[in-house]
Structure 1
Amino acid sequence: MMMAESGIQASDSTNRLRGPGAAPIAALVGAFMVNLGGLMVLPFIPFLLHHRLGMKIGTVGFLVAAALLVQFAGGLPGAALIDRIGLKQSMVLALGIRAVGFLFLLATLDWSWFAAPALLLISAGSALYLPANRAYLVLGAGQHRRALALSMSNSLLNVSALISPVIAAPFIGSHPEALFGSVAAVFTGLALAHLILPDSSRECRQEESSAITNRLTVFPWRTFLGIVPLVNILAYYFYMFQQNYLGIFVATHHSPKVYSLILISATSVVIIVQPLAANRIRALSFSTATLFSFLAFTIGFLVMSMGGLRAVVLGTVIVALGESVIFLRVDLEVLALFPGRPAMAFGIQRLGAGIGAAASSAVGGQIYARVSASGDDKIFWMQVSVQCLVGAAAFAILMRRSSKAARINGGCS
């Protein structure tokens, strides 16, 4: 039906695959499979390197930190490369790089010195693939369906994060070589499958052409240092406190099984709520969305500081509501800052996410160590809640001053 309306004659299944409506679906499936394959392996790497290969924990930490740096900071040079060679070509190249990385990881089981290039290649592939995939998704979806497409992508990524450890757990301890080899084969197959992805529609080609015309010659510092990237950094900074330290907190007061149930409940909120509320989130002003999310973080962490199981579950659900709103709204806002250059938009978004996550890890570690030594780790969540409240108040003041300055400038013109 859709192909007939676009004037393309569908003579076989290949032509149907290349219809304009297939582009967002292909991007969603690709992102899900790539995230699933990566998360089947990467969370277990520190354990494998330290316990099976006998690598010192300090060395493991350095390797993981370097890989994260490449994964997040690499989004910018990755976006510049995407602008030059195109979206489909970038995704194929990225998947090939990741496949080689997982083959190197397989070799690490016999030669530990392969660990560094393996992790760096896997992270470099991620830095190139994710901005290209999300750019391909939003271009294929069109302006009016971007919010829904991005929310569905986020939900699928969360689903893959839930099921990947379940699939990988039986193999990582006894047969890691089978797991690594299988994931490398999956990424090779995905790279070949991406070669037959639907071509861009005329609108997509126009936006890609605009991106090529506006290739990155000077980094847009004024845009990067603006309010939207700053909110992106702060949102990840606040959110990653939960990601990094909730497991330690729950293990201290409850059983590890409880932590799994808490993660499932919080992730399910994002999976369900964000697609259903995508258009309403898009309709919110950026200021309203930011204040709502920062206050949700504030309340959620404050509830978690009560320490009981019900309080922890309720707090994580409240934080998940804030997460559902702010990360989708930031994606849409960053896209608006870079019209015709979605890959650059997502590259900058990922860089900000990396900065916020790294800062949260560093600051959170110091705070948690101090409150744990005092004998009451519940104070940790109270201190995080105060930080979120200060962030919300600072943002509200900044927006008020910006609005006042705009009215003054408008009155003078």
Structure 2
Amino acid sequence: MTPRPGPTRFTGPQRFLLAGSFLITLGSFAVLPFMSVLLHQRLGLELGTVGVVLAVASLVQFAGGAVGGALAERVGLRRTMLLALVVRTVGFATFLPGLRHAYVAVAALFLVSCGAALYLPANKAYLVHHADKARRPLLLSASGSALNAGIALGPLAASPFVLSASAGLFATVTVLFAAVTAGHALLPTEAPGAAPVRPENEDGAPPPPPPTYAPPPTLLRRRRGRALTGPDVVPFAATVLSVHLFMFFQHYLALYAVPRTSTTYYGLVLALYALLLVVAQPLLSRWIAGLRYARALRLGFAAMALGMATLGIGNHAAVLAGAVLICFGEIVLFLKNDLEALARSPRAPAVVFGRQRLAAGLGAFTSGIAGGAGYQLAERAGHPGLFWLAVAAQCVVLPPLFAGALRNSPSYRTP
């Protein structure tokens, strides 16, 4: 007798996308965590300029998710993912001449960011489309684990080559993305707006077809007009703030940690950070899903505050301990914000994830602008650790201000 599949069983396309997510981040994070070092040390850009470049690239990568979500809803998830991967492959190939010309490297970074903006909303929507609400935490946490497994190995594998053999590294990443793109071409094609993946029920039987009812255009217009009003605005704003605080760590840890440790140790810290995400996020997904939203936000921001303050100590142990604390904050905040956005919005998952990427882009942009100038100021003062204390202070002060502003917002009070 064939055993019944459990609720954790993934379909073939879902398994492929999870494997593809691992390979995509493996290639991306072999390069992207070292961009501040490459732009500043190898290509000679000023730190202030590096901050602006990273801020604009992050804005394109994240905020462009709104375009990616809308495109996926119109032309289909598979087509959108293919277009995105072609753009990213061209972007990594463009880094090869960019190793000699700063403006070409910046253009390559923007191409890679555009590809990520188009890809991620469609990828997440492919995973959760028509999945039961109870399965969404597992699917999203599995996606996060696949992404972070690539993040774990990418910097560690690339750290010996990122400055000494950059051309070979970028060529390898380009070939990897070309292969992943070819694999995506074999995924099942879905009609625009249709569900590409329909998981089985626990008894092995296919699920019933989705309802054929289509809301009238006036109702759709009313829903779209209220997409970011009332409770819908809360996870959007929380994501802006979460990413704003997290991206200080993402963008500027390399500049801080490498001179005080080494590129190998920095790569090892990122690897351990990502491996912790891989293991802990699925294990904690059900617990996080059951948390009251306000409590999840308090826990996540408190962990980030402690982690940023710990980084300010500046030795090997502090860098590792600070990263672990920030990792816990990321697990709680990022997963809970996505789950709340899905639960509160009437729109299709691709559009919801696209708007969450837009929120992340806004947060990353403000972080990049403030971080470049702030880190340069702390470095010139001779105390770079003060930069992390200032970020920790933001983790304490900004969440209550954000909550108060939302409670007083007319859009939040709109029924």
TM-score by length of 1: 0.78
1:189 is aligned to 179
Structure 2: runs of 5 or more not aligned:
189-195, 199-205
Q: In structure 2, do the counterparts of structure 1 residues 219 and 73 end up closer, same or farther at CA, with 3 Å as the change threshold?
A: farther
1:160 CA displacement: 0.9
1:149 is aligned to 139
**Which structure is higher in helix share?**
1
2:70 is aligned to 80
1:347-366 aligned at under 5 Å gives the runs 347-366=354-373
Deviation per CA, 1:327-351, whole angstroms, max 9, x where unpaired?
Answer: 1001111122334511111111112
RMSD: 4.2
SS in 1 for 2:186: coil
Q: 2:89 aligns with which of 86, 95, 99?
A: 99
Indicate whether 1:67 and 2:57 are aligned: yes
Counterpart CA distance in 2 for 1:309 and 1:112 is 32
Q: In structure 2, do the counterparts of structure 1 residues 95 and 361 end up closer, same or farther at CA, with 3 Å as the change threshold?
A: closer
Q: 2:305 aligns with which of 291, 298, 303?
A: 298
Equivalent pair of 1:303/1:315 in contact (CA under 8 Å): yes
2:192 is aligned to none
Between 109-118 and 260-269, report the one with greater CA deviation: 109-118
1:9 is aligned to none
Q: In structure 2, do the counterparts of structure 1 residues 286 and 399 end up closer, same or farther at CA, with 3 Å as the change threshold?
A: farther
Equivalent pair of 1:334/1:345 in contact (CA under 8 Å): yes
1:279 CA displacement: 0.5
1:272 is aligned to 279
Counterpart CA distance in 2 for 1:371 and 1:175 is 31
Equivalent pair of 2:55/2:369 in contact (CA under 8 Å): no
Q: In structure 2, do the counterparts of structure 1 residues 271 and 358 end up closer, same or farther at CA, with 3 Å as the change threshold?
A: same
Between 332-341 and 296-305, report the one with greater CA deviation: 296-305
Q: In structure 2, do the counterparts of structure 1 residues 31 and 398 end up closer, same or farther at CA, with 3 Å as the change threshold?
A: same
SS in 2 for 1:40: coil
Counterpart CA distance in 1 for 2:300 and 2:332 is 6
Q: 1:334 aligns with which of 325, 336, 341?
A: 341
Give 1:124's aligned amino acid.
C
Counterpart CA distance in 2 for 1:143 and 1:96 is 32
Counterpart CA distance in 1 for 2:184 and 2:215 is 21
1:250 CA displacement: 3.6
1:219 CA displacement: 8.7
Counterpart CA distance in 2 for 1:179 and 1:361 is 26
Give 2:173's aligned amino acid.
V
Q: 2:296 aligns with which of 289, 294, 302?
A: 289
2:24 is aligned to 34
Equivalent pair of 2:240/2:363 in contact (CA under 8 Å): yes
Q: 2:151 aligns with which of 148, 161, 164?
A: 161
1:143 CA displacement: 2.2
Deviation per CA, 1:307-342, whole angstroms, max 9, x where unpaired?
Answer: 555444333322221211111001111122334511
1:15 is aligned to none
Q: Provide the aligned length of Structure 1 versus Structure 2.
A: 392
Counterpart CA distance in 1 for 2:343 and 2:215 is 13
TM-score by length of 2: 0.77
Q: 2:395 aligns with which of 388, 407, 412?
A: 388
Give 1:192's aligned amino acid.
A
Counterpart CA distance in 1 for 2:348 and 2:10 is 20
Q: In structure 2, do the counterparts of structure 1 residues 291 and 339 end up closer, same or farther at CA, with 3 Å as the change threshold?
A: same
Q: In structure 2, do the counterparts of structure 1 residues 358 and 284 end up closer, same or farther at CA, with 3 Å as the change threshold?
A: same
Equivalent pair of 1:24/1:140 in contact (CA under 8 Å): no
Higher relative contact order (CA 8 A, sep 6+): 2
Counterpart CA distance in 1 for 2:212 and 2:100 is 44
1:282 CA displacement: 0.4
Q: In structure 2, do the counterparts of structure 1 residues 260 and 341 end up closer, same or farther at CA, with 3 Å as the change threshold?
A: same
Give 2:21's aligned amino acid.
A
SS in 2 for 1:200: coil
Indicate whether 1:135 and 2:132 are aligned: no
Equivalent pair of 1:207/1:340 in contact (CA under 8 Å): no
Counterpart CA distance in 2 for 1:107 and 1:204 is 53
1:308-347 aligned at under 5 Å gives the runs 309-347=316-354
Equivalent pair of 1:210/1:341 in contact (CA under 8 Å): no
Equivalent pair of 1:210/1:340 in contact (CA under 8 Å): no
1:122-271 aligned at under 5 Å gives the runs 122-139=112-129, 141-169=131-159, 172=162, 176-198=166-188, 199-201=196-198, 206=210, 220-222=227-229, 226-251=233-258, 253-254=260-261, 257-271=264-278
